[in-house]
Chains A and B, each alone.
Chain A
Amino acid sequence: MATPSAVARSSSRPRPVRTRRNTELALVLAAVLIAVLGYIEVGVDIDGSVPSGAAGYGAALGVLALLAHGVIRWRAPYADPLLLPIAILLNGVGLVVIYRLDRATPRSEAAPTQLLWSTLGVALFIAVVLFLRDHKRLQRYAYSGALVALVLLVLPVLFPPVYGSRIWITIGPLSFQPGEFAKILLAVFFAAYLAVHRDALALTGRRIWGVQLPVGRVLGPVLLIWAAFVGVLVLETDLGTSLLFFGLFVVMLYVATARSGWIAIGLLLAAVGAAGVGWLSPHVHSRVTDWLDPLGSIAAGRGANQIAQSLFAFAWGGLLGTGLGNGHSILIGFAAKSDFILATIGEELGLTGLIAMFLLYALLVSRGFRTGIALTDPFGRLLAIGLAAIVGIQVFVVAGGVLDLIPLTGMTLPFIAQGGSSVVTNWIIVALLVRMSDVARRPAPRPEEA
């Protein structure tokens, strides 16, 4: 293979493009090291000794990381070097925190399962990088993908509800949230549809009150799909995913059409939807009440609710945290490993650890957007931006909920929270971004090759 700097010098690309694969390798190893140190810290803080599984855990994470890195080196040499290390670090820290929470709940171990799902996630990552040579091929499956997504979303209605939400498909010991997979299919559909119809959406139609409204013929299918999704989700009372899909829809529509009127319409629809759901569902109503006054249930003599327990955990962590294993995560109780895992991170790693984690997410999201901006085909651009927006919005919705910034809606923290479908889905997202960033950063072919 020719050195990148030799290939890169062409008129359209004034700067030499380096692959940065060695940077990625160093960062990947650092991420594995940090995760292993965290694992050791849990053992030292709880038992006073290095946990016996430390070597095995480090080896497992290291092998997964190196395999993923090797595949990138082989098949996507120009990919953004930050994407994989961030995913490894977040997934590794997530495993450590779940292991730590397992220690507080000896009767329900989640870390081994999570490691299994992470392995499957990395396997799918490798498969995507290996076999999806050109992301534009996804465009062909946009409509069938949307259909599959709808089916996936409807299916859980047939299964028993878990914690009041029908979002799980349970087969024997396995259970997964199809909504997690659906969000990728939905992003693909939106990207494909908008790449074709963006001009029509932006320019046709009438102006009403200074807002350009597109003709129903163009907008119809999009609204229909969106309404179907949101309707199903409201039936399943999974507000987090509804919010995510809605945000994704608005962001992609705006990016494609540059019509800020879409944001106004979006907010209006959101307000109407939120009011309607709040009116229909006491479940949602109590969420809003808890958000406005998280300590109100204490004053009313009903004890601390989930949000209050979560805030107590964050506050106890303070600036530097108690150290992994030294917090009181048992007091967080309900959903400590899934929706509320951030509270344990806030308590044991403190504001410092939390902001470091937010920085990682911000970096991941901005790298995704950067990939989208750097691509040349509208479908790829919209898809990368959509996938990055999914991560950003999901982090905001779940973290904002447990931090009492917005009303609580159940969602998983990407890569960190317990949940197989979530981990697998996020690895696929990162794989797609890696694939597309390889295209975006690949130097233009030499004139003689063109």
Chain B
Amino acid sequence: MIEQRPGLVVSSVAMLVILFLQIPVIVVMLASFSETSYLTIPPQGWTLKWFAAVVTDRTYIDAIRNSLILAVGSTAISLVLGVAASYAIFRRMLPGSEALTSLLMAPLIIPSVVIGVALLQYFTLVGMRGSFLVLLIAHVVITVPYIVRSALASLSGIDLAVEEAARVLGANGFTTFRLITLPLIKPGLVAGALFAFVTSMENVPVTIFLAGPRDTTLPILIFTSVEMGVNPSVAAVSTLLIIATAIVLLVAERWTGFHRFV
């Protein structure tokens, strides 16, 4: 047998590392079921009261709602603007496509905390600080690279002859895009949209500088409550996020073969 397979040592080390990756997740989930009012592992007694505390607490509900509105809104706006721009770049409708692509991807390269302070100063100067619209625009800026990246990658994988065939048969530009191109790039776009959604959902470094007192998001709430001392309801809301993430990942995997796009 010539083919190399990982040996027992390498396999065991790898499995331990994969276990290491899951440990904080397991610990948070366990802590959320403890009856004590402080965090203990292993949990003492089993209770769902911390979950009840989360779903009845207005601060949590408002934060979850804000996070979802921001993530859905910014992903949708990024999808429309990002796919349109990517398509123009891909079909070489404009000069300087390489420089354009770099600009659209730039928010990924600049550290988030720098984008955060830049927007804080700018929106303070303009007098728009603390508005929800500002937060939404900022989230579009940080999510759009994920859409552009997946759109460009998906577009480069399609056969242009199919588009031409549609044109020859009399379809106009938009119809061709809607009926031919869009369905072909859909799996890639779903993956990109998922990344955009997750990026917005978990962002702290930009959001924390811009969120007004009424626009707190879930990660900001957890982040600031940790500084003030933690209690099991933080673990409970984290557990809910863990479960939601696992469901989204598994559904996305079945739907699009998500792991191929990561």
Q: Do A and B come from one complex?
A: no
Q: Which residues of A contact B (CB under 8 A)?
A: none
